[in-house]
Structure 1
Amino acid sequence: MRQILYAFVLFSFFSCKENDTIISAKTSEIFYNGDILTMEEDTPKYVEAVVIQNGKIVFVGSKSDAESKFKDSKKTDLKGKTLLPGFIDPHSHFGMVSNTMGQVDLNPEPVGKIKNIDDILQNLKEYKEKNKIPDDEWIFGWGYDDGQLTEKRHPTKKDIDKVLPNNPVYLQHTSGHMGVANSLGLKELNTSSDSKDPDGGTIVRFPNSNDPTGLVQETAMYPFVRLMMEKLDSKQAEFFDTTQDYYASNGITTAHDGMTSRESITFFQSQADAGKMKIDLVTLAGYSELDSNLADTSLLFKTYKNGFKTQGTKIVADGSPQGKTAFFSKPFLTEVPGCHHDCRGLPSLSQEAINKLFETAYAKDNQLFIHCNGDASIDMVLLAHKLACEKLNQPLDKDRRTIVIHSQFVRPEQLDTFVKYNMEPSFFTNHAYFWGDIHVQNLGKERADFSSPMVSAKKLGLKPTNHSDATVTPIDPIFTLWTAVNRVSRSGEIIGQAERTTPYLALQAITSFASYELFDENLKGTLSTGKLADFVILDKNPLKVPPMEIKNIKVVETIKEGKSIYKK
């Protein structure tokens, strides 16, 4: 009897294992008959088929081998389309993108329709009427660009008061580094003729007067932005799914929130824990909370939990080049609002403050992401890195992956130092289109042509990424590919012929290099066995269309861990 029972158990065991194998095989899926670009190497590599199972890639290779090893698989015919690793967003502001859904759109073409200040005022007036906003309630707008307005100036409080005298108003500049409030908005935040400029910021005044125009730059805008975020955060849950869908519709399977309050980190994690993540979301904690965040054992840096993680800490070291608040070693060539001599922009933090942040972060192995547009702010960051390493007795080239966000006007010798210090740049080639002409005027052709120098960085062995910085420019990786490859400005001028990338390098910047930036290279970024089945399917291959046609490529489908989350 014992032998019979033993035989029965063995038979049952092997039968179950066999059935499991059959069930498992039926859950696999083969993608074939398209341009399947793995992004695994430094030159393009195509394969005939990719097989996925249980949300991961289990095979990459020939179609015949795929069919032989996975006989009962579902088959998906790409019909000549292009399959790539899902796009990874190296730097945007997920929360701000979500919050714009509760603001007035004041973007110029091609993002919006604003051409002049009258258009801004009309949109504000219509927004109040359409949404039945009562007097005394705040109204926020986003995306206005003084450089693209007919008047070539910022609106003032007097302009806004004409249409909204009874509502406090704050309009965020497209750069995200300044904004304009009306009279009631200034009053609400105690900004008056008696107010002094804060360190690292400017309250712009009317000529020959202490009276504020309404324009607040850099740290002077922080109270207004903080208030805006507090008021709009209540709508986060309402817009959370819509924002994820927006990212997914652009082929993004990993989104980014480039500076996140502790309250928002808690909110995002609650959404993830409730199973509401359609894509992965990576956030950066703010530097003002660095000490408390590092002391809080419940905040696990660099660790995904249900599709969400806080990767590191964001530091803002300077401002905006088009807004003329980025910090340069040489002056701007045109007039700078609020400045009358040696106008080189300004750092957002003192050297001592940046030094302290680096030392604190490096002591705890906390990854730093530092916003630097101007070369002088990059000098400050390089010095802070050197001093922190010396004080902590750490190697200069330890694998920390300190990321210099934007690095737009990095000098050639600073790129060499990036290599020496094992730091990486995340560039912003959309600027070549949106503000390339403005950069030539403000900074001169030499500096403008070397903005976001992806080609030079790659030649040195760096792994540059490339981002949208949304809401500064729209979430659109295809357009970002186009700007990297063509570097064509609004007027049709080429901004830096030598820095025009190959389409393949432009793709690396939002796939394999982007995964490296986030310490995710073993999880995503290439089509490799064992990695997540995160894919984007395009109607055309960016490597095979004329460079100027890249922007017309469409996302056909986005797949996250084997599940279709967007289909055109």
Structure 2
Amino acid sequence: MRKLIYLFLLLTVNFGCKDTERNLETKTANSAVQLYHNGDILTMDSDQPTYAEALVAKDGKIVFVGDKAKAEEKYAEAEKIDLNGKTLLPGFIDPHSHFGMVSNTMGQVDLNSPPVGDVENIADVLQKMKAYKEDKNIPDGEWIFGWGYDESQLEEKRHLNKTEIDSVLPSNPVYLVHTSGHMGVANSMALEKMNVSAETKNPEGGSIERMPNSQEPAGLVQETAMYPFVGNMLKILESKQAEFFAETQDKYAKNGITTAQDGMTDRNAINFFQSQADAGKLEIDLIALPGFSELDKNLNDSTLVWKTYKNGFKLQGTKIIADGSPQGKTAYFTEPFLTEVPGCKSECRGLPSLSQEALNDLFLKAYKAENQLFIHSNGDASIDMVIAAHENACKKLDQPLDKDRRTIVIHSQFVRPDQLKTYKEYNIEPSFFTNHAYFWGDVHVENLGKKRAFFLSPIASAEKLGLKYTNHSDATVTPIDPIFTIWTAVNRVSRAGKAIGPEERATPYQALKAITSHAAYEFFEEDQKGSLKEGKLADLVILDKNPLKVKPMEIKNIEVFETIKEGTTIYKK
């Protein structure tokens, strides 16, 4: 099992509590003085929307926020930047995505369904894979990878199988990554190369789908069963990291993001990211999380510097995978799915990725070392396990249940109301994923029923409890687009145009907090980022319209006009 978990870390090619001291050895801030005015300068510095007439940035930091006349008097030498009615906000902070995986998709076949891609059925998938081999002149025997297919959006409403892929690519090993990132489909040659056969048993926490009335693998591998396949894929794609690095961070910057996250990072990726940072190639800040299978090694490694930026890159905390994907039907629930689950015959409640004992052990070690934890947990049964592990560690270490650790439950998709209250009591914070309301809201209603589906990523309830929730894209699962994430939080409209839990709709201001002030808090960076306040970094984003002043359904049409990192423009439309 541990060997499989280690292979999973290779999967992510993507590594980091409370210390935000910056090291600017090679990252030089803009020394010019800039005075922004004549627009909506939304400070994000209070519970209610607050505007300023002017903002002044100098030496990469905000030195003034307030009255325009006073700003002009105090900084007469400043370059005046007329916003012309546009909106100035703190730079967006990415609460959770996979920077390295975004980079890796640039070397794979895009199999996403509309509106992200154009795949509508299995024939489209097969045609794209066949065309990719021909267009790229890929020789027989070489691996071919695809990403983003979603069986719930295909006309056939099912996964592909190995024989279908074999029909167009019989001479290449092929692996297709599901949009959830928690499963994939391999063809016959790929299964053979990964030593998966009729004799191969399901690994703990994983499932290998079989052909009808047979033990022969069908091609679909879920959760821990997919780790060797994705580990192999990322090892092969690793050579292209440098090639796609600049393009990847440009993608983040174009979306107004000044601080990005790599949601699970192995040693090779840590070394690569730090080398890029030390060479002055990081224009944004990048936060990385190491994977849980290397926790012992990482905590005892004196060469790893945690919690502190070096040239824009830092290690923040440890990432744990506690369960699977709700749309992939591998998230772990207390009540079963209402529809058929591949590889399961009855009482199908999904899969915990770890035993309670293993999860308890990880919490105990991390809490003892003051190491911040980020736990991927979607289903309510998985969240029960997280809460139990937290209680166990606090009891054994004689620590307060509400100590300021900022344990983050990533996704918290189907958290129950009682669990939200426990979050508040224990000082645990959720990082929600409201994009699911749009992309899979209709699927969740079908698979889980309205009661559970309508309470997904409940920002409104979290706000009432006073939680500092965040909201993310989980790219590559959904696109990097904070504006769209705001739109999904505010509207909660599905692909079919149906409201998914309208009572949990966030206000535009709450949705903005989730990617600015609350996101800074998640990373212990609230003293430096997340709001427009004197002394904080001049990490800024300019939008063509104010999300608080347009109709809710029009928010998604707002465009990023400019992104500024420590006073320096890194993107301008």
> TM-score if structure 1 supplies the norm length?
0.95
Q: How does 1:317-396 map to 2 (within 5 A)?
A: 317-396=322-401
How far 1:26 moved relative to its partner?
Answer: 8.6
The residue number in structure 2 matching 1:238 is: 243
Runs of 5+ unmatched residues, structure 2: 1-28
Q: State the AA in 1 paired with 2:162.
A: K
Instruction: Report the 3-state secondary structure (helix = DSSP H, G, I; strand = E; otherwise coil) of the residue aligned with 2:329.
Output: coil
- Kept in 1, the 8 Å contact 2:30–2:568? The answer is no
For residues 521 and 213 of structure 2, the distance between their equivalents in structure 1, rounded to whole angstroms, comes to 52
1:62 aligns with 2:60: no
The residue number in structure 2 matching 1:440 is: 445
Aligned counterpart in structure 2 of residue 430 of structure 1, from 428, 435, 455 = 435
How far 1:341 moved relative to its partner?
Answer: 1.1
Could you give the per-residue CA deviations for residues 460-511 of structure 1, whole angstroms, max 9, x where no partner exists? 0100000000000000000000000000000010000110000000000000
For residues 74 and 268 of structure 1, the distance between their equivalents in structure 2, rounded to whole angstroms, comes to 34
Query: In 2 relative to 1, CA 559–508 (structure 1 residues): closer, same or farther, beyond 3 Å?
Result: same
For residues 131 and 255 of structure 1, the distance between their equivalents in structure 2, rounded to whole angstroms, comes to 31
- Kept in 2, the 8 Å contact 1:91–1:258? The answer is yes
The residue number in structure 1 matching 2:567 is: 562
Could you give the per-residue CA deviations for residues 23-76 of structure 1, whole angstroms, max 9, x where no partner exists? x99931100000000000010000000000011100000110000000011110
Aligned counterpart in structure 2 of residue 397 of structure 1, from 392, 396, 402 = 402
Query: In 2 relative to 1, CA 106–330 (structure 1 residues): closer, same or farther, beyond 3 Å?
Result: same
The residue number in structure 1 matching 2:24 is: none
Q: How does 1:201-220 map to 2 (within 5 A)?
A: 201-220=206-225
> TM-score if structure 2 supplies the norm length?
0.94
Instruction: Report the 3-state secondary structure (helix = DSSP H, G, I; strand = E; otherwise coil) of the residue aligned with 2:316.
Output: strand
1:40 aligns with 2:45: yes
- Kept in 2, the 8 Å contact 1:25–1:73? The answer is no
Aligned counterpart in structure 2 of residue 190 of structure 1, from 195, 217, 226 = 195
Runs of 4+ with deviation above 4 angstroms? none
- Kept in 2, the 8 Å contact 1:318–1:377? The answer is yes
Instruction: Report the 3-state secondary structure (helix = DSSP H, G, I; strand = E; otherwise coil) of the residue aligned with 2:444.
Output: helix
The residue number in structure 1 matching 2:415 is: 410
Aligned counterpart in structure 1 of residue 495 of structure 2, from 490, 493, 506 = 490
For residues 26 and 195 of structure 1, the distance between their equivalents in structure 2, rounded to whole angstroms, comes to 61
Q: State the AA in 2 paired with 1:463.
A: K
Instruction: Report the 3-state secondary structure (helix = DSSP H, G, I; strand = E; otherwise coil) of the residue aligned with 2:102.
Output: helix
Q: How does 1:137-536 map to 2 (within 5 A)?
A: 137-536=142-541
Could you give the per-residue CA deviations for residues 131-176 of structure 1, whole angstroms, max 9, x where no partner exists? 1111111011000000000000001100100111110000000000
The residue number in structure 1 matching 2:105 is: 100
The residue number in structure 2 matching 1:82 is: 87
Aligned counterpart in structure 2 of residue 71 of structure 1, from 54, 76, 82 = 76
How far 1:116 moved relative to its partner?
Answer: 0.3
For residues 508 and 262 of structure 1, the distance between their equivalents in structure 2, rounded to whole angstroms, comes to 32
- Kept in 2, the 8 Å contact 1:408–1:427? The answer is yes
Instruction: Report the 3-state secondary structure (helix = DSSP H, G, I; strand = E; otherwise coil) of the residue aligned with 1:248.
Output: helix
Instruction: Report the 3-state secondary structure (helix = DSSP H, G, I; strand = E; otherwise coil) of the residue aligned with 1:172.
Output: strand
For residues 254 and 26 of structure 1, the distance between their equivalents in structure 2, rounded to whole angstroms, comes to 21
For residues 339 and 566 of structure 1, the distance between their equivalents in structure 2, rounded to whole angstroms, comes to 48
Instruction: Report the 3-state secondary structure (helix = DSSP H, G, I; strand = E; otherwise coil) of the residue aligned with 2:209.
Output: strand
State percent identity of aligned pairs. 71
Q: State the AA in 2 paired with 1:173.
A: H
- Kept in 1, the 8 Å contact 2:30–2:567? The answer is no
Report the structure number with the largest CA radius of gyration.
1
For residues 419 and 500 of structure 1, the distance between their equivalents in structure 2, rounded to whole angstroms, comes to 20
Aligned counterpart in structure 2 of residue 537 of structure 1, from 534, 542, 559 = 542
Instruction: Report the 3-state secondary structure (helix = DSSP H, G, I; strand = E; otherwise coil) of the residue aligned with 1:235.
Output: helix
For residues 144 and 302 of structure 1, the distance between their equivalents in structure 2, rounded to whole angstroms, comes to 36
Q: State the AA in 2 paired with 1:544.
A: K
- Kept in 1, the 8 Å contact 2:42–2:52? The answer is yes
For residues 231 and 302 of structure 1, the distance between their equivalents in structure 2, rounded to whole angstroms, comes to 30
Instruction: Report the 3-state secondary structure (helix = DSSP H, G, I; strand = E; otherwise coil) of the residue aligned with 2:145.
Output: strand
Q: State the AA in 1 paired with 2:309.
A: Y
1:120 aligns with 2:131: no
Could you give the per-residue CA deviations for residues 432-471 of structure 1, whole angstroms, max 9, x where no partner exists? 0000000000000000000000110111010000000000
- Kept in 2, the 8 Å contact 1:26–1:73? The answer is no
For residues 34 and 284 of structure 2, the distance between their equivalents in structure 1, rounded to whole angstroms, comes to 20
